[in-house]
Amino acid sequence: MNGTAVITGATSGLGLEFVKLLAKDGYRLVLVARNGEKLREIQAEYPERDIVAITQDLSIPHAAQEVFRELERRGLTVDVLVNNAGFGLMGLFDELDPDRQLDMIQLNISALTELTRLVLPGMKARNRGKILQVASMAAYLPGPMMAVYYASKAYVLSFSEALAEELSGAGVTVTALCPGPTKTGFGATASAEGTRMFSSRVMPADRVARLGYEALKKGKRVVITGTYNRLGVLGARTLPRSLAAKVAKSISRKT
């Protein structure tokens, strides 16, 4: 067994693909999600694997502490952390549900930060560990119509790159995965289906997860999935921020 891997948002999309990859590589899996029934279904699909299911809604403040307490209660140390849980919302900032936007900040930023902080001291003490933070190519530009989501992913990318440098030489690596539009349930949850964002060049979830996992194993700091997305990020970096915002707004329009 390679050790213990914790995956948040493990029941669908990229999270479920990470489950498949890490299970194949022989990790003991700790799966965290709010849907306990789906977690039990995954356990049943892998009867030969040691899978711990933790039903927890990470959009609740300090839920990450409950997850970490359960790990401690079971005597588990974390070798790999995949902070995948997150969601987006499309619409005008002042018209979207304010509570849902705060839930997004809690899940995309606070829970990710808190869980990282809780597992990191143990990794450093053992001089071994890998952390994968799921960001987005949205991290590279302001995003009108998804203002809070884009901003949350900018935080994830900046935080991950800074932490990776802090941990240089400590035996612990941090990788930020920055995918573009991906075939998951994200578009439906965000009410983004039917927009230019998802009209073409949408990558399959298994491909995105595999690229992220390969980068994690190599200790890369950032991976942007797909040539088209890498070119998009390059363009976003060269444009004035005001123009980049207009480009981002244009892809949020309905086709």
- pLDDT confidence of residue 159: 98
pLDDT for 252 beyond 90: no
∠214-202-216 over CA atoms, to 5°?
A: 15
Q: What is the pLDDT of residue 197?
A: 79
d(CA 86, CA 59): 9
Determine the Cα–Cα distance for residues 212 and 215; give it in Å rounded to an integer.
Answer: 5
Element (H, E) at 224: strand 222-224
Spatial distance between the Cα atoms of 163 and 123, rounded to a whole number of angstroms: 13
**In the block, residue with structure tokens 């990859």:** 21
Q: Which domains does the chain have, with CATH numbers?
A: 4-250 (3.40.50.720)
DSSP at 158: H
| Identity of the highest mean pLDDT range in 175-189, 196-210, 211-225 | 211-225
Q: Residue 102 half-sphere exposure, CB side, CA atoms within 13 Å?
A: 5
Active site residues: 149
Say whether pLDDT at 187 is over 70.
yes
Between strands 182-183 and 28-33, the pairing is unpaired
Handedness of CA 238, 239, 241, 247 (dihedral sign): negative
Query: Is 1 a residue whose pLDDT tops 70?
Result: no
Question: pLDDT-derived band of residue 186, with 50, 70 and 90 as boundaries?
Answer: confident
**Rounded Cα–Cα distance for residues 122 and 236 (Å):** 37
State how far the Cα of 51 lies from the Cα of 187, in Å rounded to an integer.
Answer: 29
pTM of the model: 0.93
Residues 6 and 120 sit within 8 Å (Cβ to Cβ):
no
CA distance 197 to 255: 9
Q: What is the pLDDT of residue 255?
A: 67
Dihedral pair phi/psi, residue 146, rounded to 5° = -145, 45
Report pLDDT digits (tens) over 90-120.
999 999 999 999 999 999 999 999 999 999 9
Strands 51-55 and 172-178: unpaired
